[in-house]
């Protein structure tokens, strides 16, 4: 299978790419940082799978569309598309810096929206495929200091649910993935009891399992939280 993972130079995205690559899939990864992307590609290739990497600023609509066109020109119509690219800026709506909402929407919503729209016609022609949108617990529950990040993730969940309804007649599955606190680069340096936070592989195993179901079944939403509750 051909698997496209955005925001895959680190964290959950990299872990997802590793899982699919190690299971014999052709994996295409992208991220904004060329240096981190090359390091991730080298590491993933050591797992034995075919891994292609391309630097893309997923907050830029023209860059996202260029990436999609490049994929199609290379004959890469995803069997699995994982929209993982995203960013987190803490703050409250009433006092966060001007432009925060725009930035969060561009990275956390528009990246998935523009890439998916560009690839869908080819996927619909094949009448098969699976799209995973990496949302967040913040898509379901507002929390202090979530601000525009939470707004953008609520929007990504709404996008996922609308897209799922639209794609049912075309054989394309859509799964919204809503993880709680997960140990990634965002939490590095934080003084957190390991028992209070999930591992990236917890998310990976759920996504991978959902991707293995028959064409007649779909996991619509994956919701994971630390066993002791949200942080």
Residues belonging to the active site: 149
CA distance 152 to 167: 22
d(CA 133, CA 160): 7
Cα 27 to Cα 4, 32, 179, distances in angstroms: 6, 17, 22
Residue 48: HSE in the Cβ half-sphere, 13 Å Cα cutoff:
4
Residues 61, 65, 68: CA angle, nearest 5 degrees: 145
DSSP SS3 for 139: helix
């Amino acid at each position: 299978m051909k698997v496209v993972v955005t925001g895959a130079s680190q964290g959950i995205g990299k872990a997802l790419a590793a899982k699919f690559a190690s299971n014999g899939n052709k994996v295409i990864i992208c991220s904004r940082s060329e240096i981190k992307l090359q390091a991730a590609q080298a590491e993933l290739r050591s797992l034995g799978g075919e891994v292609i990497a391309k630097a893309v600023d997923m907050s830029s609509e023209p860059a996202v569309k260029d990436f999609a066109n490049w994929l199609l020109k290379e004959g890469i119509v995803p069997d699995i598309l994982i929209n993982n690219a995203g960013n987190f800026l803490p703050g409250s709506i009433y006092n966060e810096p001007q432009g925060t909402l725009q930035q969060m929407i561009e990275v956390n919503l528009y990246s998935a929206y523009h890439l998916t729209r560009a690839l869908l016609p080819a996927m619909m022609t094949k009448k098969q495929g699976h799209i995973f949108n990496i949302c967040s617990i913040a898509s379901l529950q507002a929390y202090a200091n979530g601000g525009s990040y939470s707004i953008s993730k609520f929007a990504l969940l709404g996008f996922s649910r609308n897209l799922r309804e639209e794609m049912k007649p075309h054989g394309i599955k859509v799964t919204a993935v809503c993880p709680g606190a997960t140990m990634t680069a965002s939490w590095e340096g934080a003084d957190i009891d390991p028992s209070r936070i999930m591992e990236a592989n917890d998310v990976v195993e759920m996504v991978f399992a959902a991707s293995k179901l028959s064409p007649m079944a779909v996991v619509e939403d994956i919701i994971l939280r630390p066993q002791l509750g949200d942080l």
